Structure 1
Amino acid sequence: MRSILVLTFVALLGGTGAVEAQQRTTSLTGLGGANEALVWQAVGRLDANGVGFCTATLIAPDLVLTAAHCVYSPTSNALLKAEDLTFRAGLRHGTSAAERQIAQIEAHPGYTPGQGSTAENIRHDVALLRLETPIPTHMLDPFVLFNERFAKGPVSVVSYGRGRAELPSRQAVCRMFDRYQGVVLMDCDVTFGSSGAPVFSHKNGRGQIISVISSVGRFEGKKVSFGMVLPQLVVDLKRQMRANKQSPPATARRITITNGTGRTTSTGGAKFVRPGGS
């Protein structure tokens, strides 16, 4: 059923020469050199205990962007527990540039787990994760979103994947060759584990994220990857995250009063409650 839905959706987009586009792409290259990998360290592996991994990207000191289907159990379709998720930024051969537990998960409400790669799910396949402890910008420089309208053309992808789980790989040039009602089609080389990987535009110098890898399918007999148009989705998720963020528990403090002699007298149990213990 999933493949039928994807193929039906792709057929609505019309032909734009996917074969020609693929001839202009570069191959996937592992970021094995330390200097080469340094630029992309804000991209990391998102590990889910007992489930597997996806790719994710730091977009603020305390926020990570990934695909919504990465935060649901593939067997029960239940939302995973935040404490079972770990973001390993720039992971290379077992060593991370920074490693953080996840404190909060927000998947876009337009995504429905268990319904597969429908057009509706692909265009909403985005989740935002809040880190338990922020990663300072002097350690890692977060990537920003590309907020302009982007045209068809060259993009790049950095991802982890099956067979390359310990080293990020980069495809320096692949192509976004069509878009339809919030869904983006690309000829980028992705596989299992690449879900959630950032798709970059290089229009303004350093890469800016224009989409996130959701799934793969077939178009004109060729393998294609699907993403979504991001900016408004991320705005929705940030609002959702603020609304759902738990306030720190209130802390009760006992007041003491000095009697002018340096001694203190208890107030007999009267307490002031200050949110956050401040």
Structure 2
Amino acid sequence: MRLEEESEIVRDAISAEYADIVVAVTELGSPATLMVLLAVLFWCGGRRRSALVISYAVAGLGFILALETLLGLPRPPEAVYLTSIDVEGYGFPSGHAFASAVVYGGLVSVYDRLRDPVALLGAGTLVVAVSLSRVVLGVHYLGDVIVGAILGVAFVAAMNRLSRGMPTVGFAVAVALAIPAVYVTGAAVYAVLSLGGAIGGLLTAGWIDRLPPLRSRLEGAVLVVVGSGVLVALQLAEAVVDLTPLLAALYAALVAWIVFAPAVVGWFRTGILEVARTES
């Protein structure tokens, strides 16, 4: 079922000298990279749709962690790893393949690009690249990533029906999935982060339509730079926070920051303009 022999063929196709490239590709499906990508899309426009995909990503994180833990299937042995890499959790299905399908596939679906061959090809290429990178690295079998990607597509379809285009509903579903994930995984870090992100999104989603629009490309650039800097700082803080409630609060703050960053940057811009007018 996990296609061990076929996985060996994929692994043998790439030599260790390309390990850095493979690691870079696999990062395109990591939670941190995907969250920054969704945040930038949210800040630059289409906020309601981007927020909807953020809710899909947070909900999917809780779902896949609980499923992996319940199935309890191990990863391939470390002897086949392409390079030294720290991995946690179980091997089936692949979380990276699932997450990339949920986010990239979710963007295509939510932005109504399902009939656009370029969008479909781009999203499909990213999902396949991330999935194969996990097999090449040796941390998953081929069957793990195939099932993960298929589950990701099915999850997007299910969330489309459940959320009905409303981010608040999407985050409510995320809370409902994250709570059992925390229990099943024994409060694993990513499960706690999923719960925190779901709560943060649920509490702030109602403000999305009230956010000020971007007034210039410069303001958009400032928003992306400042917003991304705060996101990276919050994600780095995960490494030094040990208490479960603080981890949940940290990720709640991260999602809340994504939502409120446009208002904060807009407020500073207005304040600077007021000062400039006063001085002139």
Bigger fraction of residues in strand = 1
TM over 0.5: no
The higher relative CO (CA closer than 8 Å, separation ≥ 6) is in 2
Give TM-score, length-normalised by structure 2: 0.26
Give TM-score, length-normalised by structure 1: 0.26
